[in-house]
Structure 1
Amino acid sequence: MTHSVASMTGFARARGSLGPWSYAWELKSVNAKGLDLRLRVPTGFDAVEIKARAAVTAQVARGSVFGNLTAKRAEAEGSARVNRAALDRLLAALDDVPLHASLRPASLDGLLAIRGVVEVVEPEDDEAQRAALEQSMLAALDQALEELLVSRHAEGAALAAVLQERLTKIGSLAARADAAPGRQPEAVRQRLAQQVTRLLETAETLDPARLHQEAVLLAVKADIREELDRLKAHVASAQKLLADGGPIGRRLDFLAQEFSRETNTLCAKSNDAELTAIGLELKIEVEQLREQVQNIE
């Protein structure tokens, strides 16, 4: 799986329990330029967050990843404890208070009902129990992370198929442009000759030798050989990246920009109706390629 193409979107959830504790992880990832990891854990589980961050970073190369851990402890009866210090302070204070004849002395049950005199102590995990709980939570995270990666790679496989179709179409259009009759030397010469003839007919003062030089320069500028060669090379590079797999999104994005640049230049140079039409088809395919590439890790 580590060498296949992955998308940057996915979702996973894993649950677990240990002793009185039950917990759940929820992971979600979406597109991003780099890796943006945001984890949220309950208070008191900072150690889990540190290890969870390291685990996710080791498996995910790119995308905004949101992780949330929820944990709940089952209700347990706490033990009651009398705060002797608070009770003694209260009794000492009462000794200094003169009582009216109509008032009864304070009773023990009344004193114990005062806030802070009786404390309910909630049960706490000992160090070994806490360590076991954290380990169990991290094991559940591994399960959720594996599920997240499976979903990202499943979508990545579908994206790779779409990209292969786009690349095949781009290669086919480039081949059509290369074989277009308008690119043949004789066709280029005829178009230039017609342009030169029209210019000579409308402006007799033009120097034929100078006009010939300008025509040659125009023919050179209109040549799209380099653009076609680069498109062919970019198609081969992109197909190799898809075959190799891994986190290739950034490199594919760079190639998509190169595709766009070469296609725009081809359209700008074209002076033939068929080549222009092919160039416009290329622009559509390249734009669709760029959109899909944005989803690749």
Structure 2
Amino acid sequence: MKSMTGYGRGEFQESNKSFVVEIKTINHRYNDILVKMPRHISHLEEMVKRSIKEKVNRGRVEVYINMESVEGNDVEVAVNLALAKSYKEAAEKISRELSIAGELSLESIMKFPDVLKAEKLEDDEDELKRALYGALEKAIEALVGMRSREGEKLREDMIEKLGNIDSKISEIEKRAPLVVSEYKEKLNQRISDMLEGKYELDESRLANEVAYFADKSGIDEELVRLRSHISQARSTAQSEGAVGKKLDFIVQEMNREANTIGSKVGDIDITNMVVDIKTEIEKVREQVQNIE
């Protein structure tokens, strides 16, 4: 289980190309990848996205790619020999025609315009890909490591909260049978007070009323389903891969059962326990929003 929040950085140099890749991820319902990179290598953007999607299934991913050329390695000095010869021949002609003694030095020729020209080398595509992928792979590895560590913390905390909910369910299970017997006693006492001993109590009608109350306020099914959801959440939390959406659905079902229990039972003690359960469920829901 991984968190959707993380950061990774990677550097790599291949021949005359150096890359620095930074990746940040935050919560998002889907897998949304934004890549910012130099325009002249934008054709490699799809390669970057494919590599990230192999490791990141969900979340907003922001990728920042910086490329630098190693100083001097990306420039080639071209020599215009024909032009240099022309300069030399012209100088010799001037010397002969004007009877001016002197020789043209190599240093002088090199200073003439356009004899030497620095030209930027074309980027080697394979070299670009190797350098970029090297930095990208390191950044992704660091990112996944951080997301995994954060995910483990979330898992441990979520398991603890599910345990708290389970404990409250056990308390409700102990309290629930007493609610019916207490209702029977209160109803019996209320009717007896109203009859004031002048009329005989109809036990069969009392039993029917109690049975109706027990059926109406029965929460056994809801408690069983809530426990089942807790078991599913625990099992899912131990699974690998993207489990955030599944956990989100399970938490919604847990909240639905808790609401039903609260609406069916009028007992104040159980109502308070349901409030505690819903509080824990909300905490789990907040954590699930950050799970991949």
TM-score, normalised by the number of residues in structure 1: 0.75
Trace 1:1-297 onto structure 2 (pairs within 5 A): 5-76=1-72, 122-125=119-122, 129-180=124-175, 183=178, 185-194=180-189, 216-297=211-292
Distance 1:237 1:10, change over 3 A: same
Distance 1:199 1:15, change over 3 A: farther
Q: Report what 2:96 is aligned to.
A: none
1:11–1:148 contact (8 Å) kept in structure 2: yes
Q: Report what 1:103 is aligned to.
A: none
Distance 1:196 1:219 in 2: 18
Distance 1:199 1:149, change over 3 A: farther
Query: Paired residues, what number?
Result: 255
Deviations 1:242-261 (A, max 9, x none): 12232110010011111111
Distance 1:199 1:155 in 2: 64
1:181–1:187 contact (8 Å) kept in structure 2: no
Counterpart amino acid of 1:124? L
CA drift of 1:219 comes to 2.9
Stretch of structure 1 that moved more, 182-191 or 44-53: 182-191
Distance 1:240 1:170 in 2: 16
Q: Report what 1:101 is aligned to.
A: none
Stretch of structure 1 that moved more, 182-191 or 26-35: 182-191
Unaligned runs of 5+ in 2: 81-111, 197-201
State the SS of the aligned residue for 1:37.
strand
CA drift of 1:75 comes to 4.8
Identity percentage of aligned residues:
31
Distance 1:31 1:119, change over 3 A: farther
1:42–1:70 contact (8 Å) kept in structure 2: yes
RMSD of aligned residue pairs (Cα, Å) = 3.2
Distance 1:276 1:71, change over 3 A: same
2:161–2:284 contact (8 Å) kept in structure 1: yes
CA drift of 1:274 comes to 1.4
Counterpart amino acid of 2:245? R
Unaligned runs of 5+ in 1: 83-111, 202-206
Q: Report what 2:107 is aligned to.
A: none
CA drift of 1:191 comes to 4.0
1:182–1:188 contact (8 Å) kept in structure 2: no
1:15–1:24 contact (8 Å) kept in structure 2: yes
Distance 2:256 2:189 in 1: 30
1:10–1:149 contact (8 Å) kept in structure 2: yes
1:42–1:71 contact (8 Å) kept in structure 2: yes
Distance 1:294 1:170 in 2: 19
State the SS of the aligned residue for 1:245.
coil
Counterpart amino acid of 2:135? A
State the SS of the aligned residue for 2:39.
coil
CA drift of 1:40 comes to 1.6
2:229–2:254 contact (8 Å) kept in structure 1: yes
Distance 1:194 1:57, change over 3 A: farther
CA drift of 1:122 comes to 3.4
